[in-house]
Amino acid sequence: MNIKKYFNLVTGVAFAAISITSCVQKDEWDTPPIKCENKFAATTMTMAAFKAQAPTTGYILINTDQIFDGYVVSSDENGNFYKTISFQDKPENPTVGLQIEVDRASNYADFPVGAHIRINAKGLRLGTDRGAVKLGSVDPSFDIGRIPGSLVSRYVSGVCTGNGLDIAAMKPLDLATLKIAQDEKYINMLVKVPNVQFAAGEIGKKYLNYVAGAGVDTDRNIVDQAGNATIIRNSGFASFGSTLVPEGKGDLTFVVSRYNTSWQMLIRSTKDVNFGGKRFFFEGFDGVLSDNWDAVSVTGAQIWNIQQFGNPKPCVVMNGFASVNNANEDWLISKPISLLGFTSASLSFETDVRYAGSPIEVFVTDNYSGNPTTTTWTPLSAILDPNNTAFNTWTYSGDISLNAFANKNVRIAFKYTSTTTAAATWELDNVRVVGN
């Protein structure tokens, strides 16, 4: 190599190294600023005003710039939401919820829970579809279609803080019972209900059922301490599907959802299920009678059985009349109910009676022999339906103290008797045992 060219090359490299060193005066590089710009400069209306335009059936086409803000409450990170984003108008104490249909997955990556989003609905359809108000694209096959993945950014954009996406801390709306949550005004809102547990028939099961090794969409029954029931709907793609449902009770956080007339609540992950407390006992007789009860017939051919009456439907019924009045003695005895760890407890239920006959009797024991006629029972005093002239006069029993049986395992029993001269029909529903 030419010596002059060699020294010129070495000199150039050395100069470049000195130049770089002189520019960086510390060990770390400065993080370049993040450029974050809002696609839609300003809102033109509130989310509540926008949703109020939705017809009760069918849809409308939005043909003007209608821009509003929302906050994401759903997440498809764990597979339980599919090509849909649920959002509400405020991070806490929301007044309205909505969902938008999008034909793409992994939406949580762009719009995580709490993401502040801005939507320009021009060119989209707004309508009520299968029980919920939705926003989506024009589609010849569906009233509310999914927005093609490549076009989502045309309608939905994150709201920037100047350094990145604005993400709010979401506070679930506190509701006292599952019954309250079953109101269309809460659809697509994030809510939390206390004192909830999985129904007794669900214990020992996984969040999903599996067929040939593949998860399938699965409903799991839940109930609150007031006796209200609904379901958690789990997608067959939920990553937590093989996890056993917890046995305890506690707070349940979920996005309210409805499919036609069926309420189906959606969790984002198992973190939404905070069941660390002791279970309570509740029976609404919407499962198999033998799950929680032993029906023992001492005398007579008639037996306790579940019927589609109830408050609400169904309930358990005993009637000694079959063409004629019959002599019966029939017991409905609960499986063991644990009051371990409780210092106080109470029993309650509802009854409805029709026709003349003996009242049902209520008992408790902590030492069941396996035979109701040889067991030592403690009778309990309860308020029973006094009106035998009409059905559907449901009567609350009052709170019956079980304090004497705290910290024990007990069984509750209902005894029905009839004679050849009088056989009343007794209906029983919403049996609950709660403790502190």
CA 273 to the chain's CA centroid: 9
Within 10 angstroms of residue 203's Cβ, the number of other Cβ atoms is 14
**Token pair belonging to 50:** 């926008």
**One domain, residues 147 and 244:** no
11 belongs to a structural domain: no
- Give the domain range for residue 253: 173-277
Predicted confidence at residue 193, as pLDDT, reads 98
Count of structural domains, the chain:
3
Alpha-carbon gap, residue 119 to 82, rounded angstroms = 20
Q: Widest CA span of the chain, in angstroms?
A: 128
- Whether 40 is in a domain gets the answer no
Same domain membership, residue 72 and residue 198: no
* pLDDT score for 379: 98
**In a domain? residue 253:** yes
Among residues 124, 158, 192, which one ends one of the domains?
A: 158
Query: Is 431 found in the same domain as 294?
Result: yes
From residue 79, give the alpha-carbon distance in Å to each of 139, 153, 238, 254: 25, 22, 4, 15
Residue 349: CATH number of its domain: 2.60.120.200
Same domain, 266 and 351: no
pLDDT of residue 122: 97
Whether 299 and 400 share a structural domain: yes
282 domain-assigned: no
CATH (domain of 58): 2.40.50
Q: List the chain pLDDT tens, one digit each, 436 residues.
A: 444 444 444 444 444 444 444 444 444 445 444 456 688 889 999 999 999 999 999 999 999 999 999 999 999 999 999 999 999 999 999 999 999 999 999 999 999 999 999 999 999 999 999 999 999 999 999 999 999 999 999 999 999 987 889 999 999 999 999 999 999 999 999 999 999 999 988 999 999 999 999 999 999 999 999 888 999 999 999 999 999 999 999 999 999 999 999 999 999 999 999 999 999 999 989 889 998 999 999 999 999 999 999 998 999 999 999 999 999 999 999 999 999 999 999 999 999 999 999 999 999 999 999 999 999 999 999 999 999 999 999 999 999 999 999 999 999 999 999 999 999 999 999 999 998 8
Residues 404 and 312 occupy one common structural domain = yes
Whether the predicted model's global pTM rises above the 0.95 cut: no
What is the CA angle 236-241-244, rounded to 5?
145
pLDDT at position 9, please?
A: 45
Is 18 part of any domain?
Answer: no
User: 307 with 429, same domain?
Assistant: yes
* Same-domain pairing of 324 and 426: yes
Residues 386 and 297 in one domain: yes
Looking at the fold, whether 294 and 426 belong to one and the same domain comes out as yes
* Judgement on whether residues 126 and 252 belong to the same structural domain of the protein: no
Asked if 242 and 334 sit in the same domain, the reply is no
Indicate whether 15 belongs to any domain: no
CA distances from 65 to 145, 152, 385 (A): 19, 16, 60
Domain boundary pick from 216, 243, 277: 277
- Bond from prior residue into 140 cis (ω within 30 degrees of 0): no
Last residue of a domain, one of 133, 158, 183: 158
Using alpha carbons only, how large is the chain's radius of gyration in Å?
Answer: 31
Residue 294's pLDDT is 97
What pLDDT is recorded for position 201?
A: 84
